[in-house]
Amino acid sequence: MATAELNGAAITDFTSFHAACKAALGFPDTYANTMDAWVDCLSYLRDEDGMSKFRLKPNEVLEIVIQDAAAMRAAAPDILEEVTYCVAGINERYDDYGEKPALKLTLR
């Protein structure tokens, strides 16, 4: 399983969240630092679109691990809630296209 790790203790606002995601997930320089762009970059992980450093095989899953999630929950609960919601929405999109879910969110 492919894995990307985020340091939840370092995520205190959307600016730090998007910077961490861009580094860990390999988003392109044109990444817009918005949740819409985050969803777009993770919606085509099995395609050759270059929106992430990850290219998943048909049944492969990308695990996004947030280390020290308790610190992130304390500092930025709205971001953690938004990420959880977006991961579910992205997986639903994959399902709509007849594919297996591509993301797993793990909070540590």
Residue-wise pLDDT for 35-56, tens only, equals 999 999 999 999 988 999 999 9
pLDDT band at residue 5 under the 50/70/90 scheme:
very high
Q: Is 91 exposed, middle or buried (0-12, 13-18, 19+ CB in 10 A)?
A: buried
Q: What is the CATH number for 22?
A: 3.30.370.10
For 14, the domain range is 2-107
Closest of 105, 107, 103 to residue 68, by C-alpha: 107
At 27 the pLDDT is 97
Give, for 106, the enclosing helix (H) or strand (E). strand 103-107
The total of structural domains in the chain comes to 1
CA count, 13 A, side-chain hemisphere, 85: 8
At 10 the pLDDT is 98
* 15 in Cβ contact with 5 (< 8 Å): no
pLDDT in tens, 62-108: 999 999 999 999 999 999 999 999 999 999 999 999 999 999 999 99
